[in-house]
Structure 1
């Protein structure tokens, strides 16, 4: 009688069973759980020999005990699961643009290449060979990588629902995508683009892209209610969606849906921007606000000319009949603008990289950059690394022209408020300059020249035997060469005070040591001289000096001489006690 069998040779309820069938094969049944209707979920295994079926039964039992047996139900293939997932699970819960990407990956790549695989039989190696085949057949690495991300997302849902125990796409190595280095447009190129844009409709559309770095959808989805002319602020609330058309003629015109004379747009025009960080107010330069006012006036005149053909929807940038601009048309207008301005070819999104890089060069704080660009906390550092470029070309051009970045030179005088400066400039613009006060061996960076001048003058009077001078540094040099970095830069005038000091040293027995250094002195001190400055009337400490003698020092400093003298007695009393009882005090030097 086998182990676990009853006296009559019958296995207990729920136990696995193995028997030789009339078909000449060995069969095994393993209970792995309960079905949705409450009946036992018994899985069948068939092999030619008893050892083979026994091995398979034991393996299934181990999977059951680990909770790794897939859920009973429909026998999914990769094709049936992907179709179900993309249409019934993903489509109701993601944006239109996202589902478009999923459908391309599923219908054009995954189903033709891997769709026949049983879901539970799909292996990481199948996916990796498929990605390689895609690229061998001409697909870009980015396309293969997007396909990998899509199948990984779809199979994660299958795991969550119990149709798979392990997602092979999380194990498979996705195609490596080399991120292409983007070279932002130089200031000169931006100026040429702006000058050329002034000759076209919707001039401000391109100025917003280059100056503020808004995404294409954010600009095209902007409405006049989002523009506050009193506060000089634009509020980003929505993005323009790419239209998707279907035939309105019953597919009788013989053209693609987008070219059908009676085409029907099946999508909404805009959607709310994808994150809370994306919904943001942006301060707008006065020159750009003036340009928007001019644009509003021109649009009003277009509306009068169009009369009944005009469809008022409130968009800032429209077609000649008031309809929102098509993103595809907008893209081709950008290409035409580059060509007309004689500027190298580039993506429209490169304008966003340019705006982000300009903010970096201007020294705008990270928090403000994140707010302008619409980057979420937690992801913003990665996005800054991706969008902000410190190329030599950008640094040189910006250093030469940053003072009149977009409206301050002759190249863009068509815009209101533009004026060329005839004065000569430093190779490093004032916005990027730091004024470093060199005070003996100490360097203190100031944002404003007058603060550095005053500190150097006063410090030189206090310490006439020491060097006191000003050096001009650019911010990049200070950030990378100084120990304190950008956090050390002072934007306001530092405090200065005359600080009184009293000091005494006591030997281990408690007796006071004969003075070898001054025990009482006063010095004028700046707040950046942290080793001697205080703004308190009196502060004292006792500290055990290092070395074999183990003396204890009492030190008092403060801005009020009488308070310092009063505190000195208390400090000395503790120093004596500390010298006599070395185990009583921790060796700290806190004031």
Structure 2
């Protein structure tokens, strides 16, 4: 085997060492994404160079070239992958310093900007999706601002469609956003764990969804896989992000004047924020509703009490869309 080929093989294996052993405990999708990034950008471009010969200039030139085609976020990811790979080699005395840590990540191509539905577009979508399997999902996401990663693991025992009207103070219909599809089931931040009152249209849609799911359960028979989830496939299995995206775009095609290819489920959450802002809901309250961690400072400064069920969003959405 030629010397250059032998070196290339050895160095490629060292860069793969982190992929093989350094991702223990990460979620399967996270591991998959790291592997794609590393094989596509790091190993393919730098795999033939010895780690001990890698310099900061090499990394700067590599990142600058990548900045012409990749977004800043992707550049940060591949920089992190390479840096962590080199750091692992340092701990095993393969190299003596991490030159990647000396390099700044350049600004890449602008990413796809997020959009928000206008009120007219939102009304058109809700009307067009009446009777569609995604109707309840779209309504709950649009009218509560819950993340798609929070709705996919939502279970019926975290949905209170009747509320507790006899308690003091009365508790309105609500959903408990306490879980996500992240590793371990935790929400994105501590502030993301919240209980939200449901607007009237969301309550009605979820009741329809419960009846729809019961019909699916009966039709599937022994093939039904009970999960307790609110949003499932036709046989009760969980929906992943790709399932939701395809179903969302297929449903969105029913709305006149909306190009499904231009929208993703997460933009329902952006639309929630935009609609509340357009109707004069304070930004501090919107931040609480969507579970942003930054609300800690706002709550401390303004001394606003936190209600057991945050009702502002539901009340505003009932005003916007009507009960």
TM-score higher than 0.5 here?
Answer: yes
Partner of 2:307: none
Partner of 1:84: 17
Partner of 2:36: 104
How far apart are the structure 2 equivalents of 1:161 and 1:274?
33
Specify which of 206, 214, 219 is matched with residue 300 of structure 1.
214
CA shift for structure 1 position 221: 1.3
- Confirm or deny that 1:239 pairs with 2:180: yes
Q: Unaligned 5+ residue runs, structure 1?
A: 1-75, 242-267, 382-400, 409-416, 418-591
- After superposition, give the CA deviation of every residue in 1:77-115 in whole Å (9 maximum; x if it has no partner): 6533432222222x2233333222221122222112112
Alignment of 1:495-534 (within 5 A): none
Q: Is the 8 A contact 1:215 1:349 kept in 2?
A: yes
How far apart are the structure 1 equivalents of 2:59 and 2:187?
34
Q: Is the 8 A contact 2:71 2:107 kept in 1?
A: no
Q: 2:191 is paired with a residue of what secondary structure?
A: coil
Q: Is the 8 A contact 1:135 1:141 kept in 2?
A: yes
CA shift for structure 1 position 145: 3.9
Specify which of 149, 167, 174 is matched with residue 80 of structure 2.
149
Partner of 1:189: 121
How far apart are the structure 1 equivalents of 2:54 and 2:148?
40
* Higher RCO, 1 vs 2 (CA within 8 Å, ≥6 residues apart): 2
Aligned length: 285
- Confirm or deny that 1:275 pairs with 2:150: no
Q: Is the 8 A contact 2:199 2:318 kept in 1?
A: no
Partner of 2:309: none
Partner of 1:120: 52
How far apart are the structure 1 equivalents of 2:201 and 2:122?
15
Q: Is the 8 A contact 2:143 2:317 kept in 1?
A: no
How far apart are the structure 2 equivalents of 1:120 and 1:362?
59
- After superposition, give the CA deviation of every residue in 1:268-289 in whole Å (9 maximum; x if it has no partner): 9x84334333332222223312
How far apart are the structure 1 equivalents of 2:102 and 2:126?
49
Distance 1:81-1:359 versus aligned 2 partners, 3 A rule: farther
Distance 1:99-1:202 versus aligned 2 partners, 3 A rule: same
How far apart are the structure 2 equivalents of 1:228 and 1:101?
36
Q: Is the 8 A contact 1:78 1:111 kept in 2?
A: no
TM-score scaled by structure 2? Answer: 0.75
- After superposition, give the CA deviation of every residue in 1:96-142 in whole Å (9 maximum; x if it has no partner): 33222221122222112112333233112212222344456x55555
CA shift for structure 1 position 319: 1.7
Q: Is the 8 A contact 2:284 2:295 kept in 1?
A: no
- Confirm or deny that 1:207 pairs with 2:207: no
Larger Rg over CA atoms: 1
Alignment of 1:575-586 (within 5 A): none
Q: Is the 8 A contact 1:124 1:171 kept in 2?
A: yes
Q: 1:369 is paired with a residue of what secondary structure?
A: helix
CA shift for structure 1 position 223: 0.9
How far apart are the structure 2 equivalents of 1:225 and 1:402?
24
Structure with greater strand share of residues: 1
- Confirm or deny that 1:319 pairs with 2:233: yes
- Confirm or deny that 1:329 pairs with 2:243: yes
Q: 1:354 is paired with a residue of what secondary structure?
A: helix
How far apart are the structure 1 equivalents of 2:243 and 2:210?
21
CA shift for structure 1 position 167: 2.7
Deviates more, 1:183-192 or 1:209-218: 209-218
Specify which of 356, 362, 369 is matched with residue 286 of structure 2.
369
- After superposition, give the CA deviation of every residue in 1:389-429 in whole Å (9 maximum; x if it has no partner): xxxxxxxxxxxx988423x2xxxxxxxx4xxxxxxxxxxxx
- The alignment yields a C-alpha RMSD, in angstroms, of 3.2
CA shift for structure 1 position 165: 4.9
Q: Is the 8 A contact 1:77 1:117 kept in 2?
A: no
- Confirm or deny that 1:223 pairs with 2:155: yes
Specify which of 272, 276, 290 is matched with residue 359 of structure 1.
276
How far apart are the structure 2 equivalents of 1:295 and 1:240?
21
Structure with greater helix share of residues: 2
How far apart are the structure 2 equivalents of 1:403 and 1:331?
27
Q: Is the 8 A contact 1:145 1:176 kept in 2?
A: no
Q: Unaligned 5+ residue runs, structure 2?
A: 1-8, 164-170, 299-315
CA shift for structure 1 position 163: 5.5
- After superposition, give the CA deviation of every residue in 1:305-336 in whole Å (9 maximum; x if it has no partner): 33222221111011222122242122112222
How far apart are the structure 1 equivalents of 2:318 and 2:233?
35
Q: 2:192 is paired with a residue of what secondary structure?
A: coil
Distance 1:372-1:96 versus aligned 2 partners, 3 A rule: farther
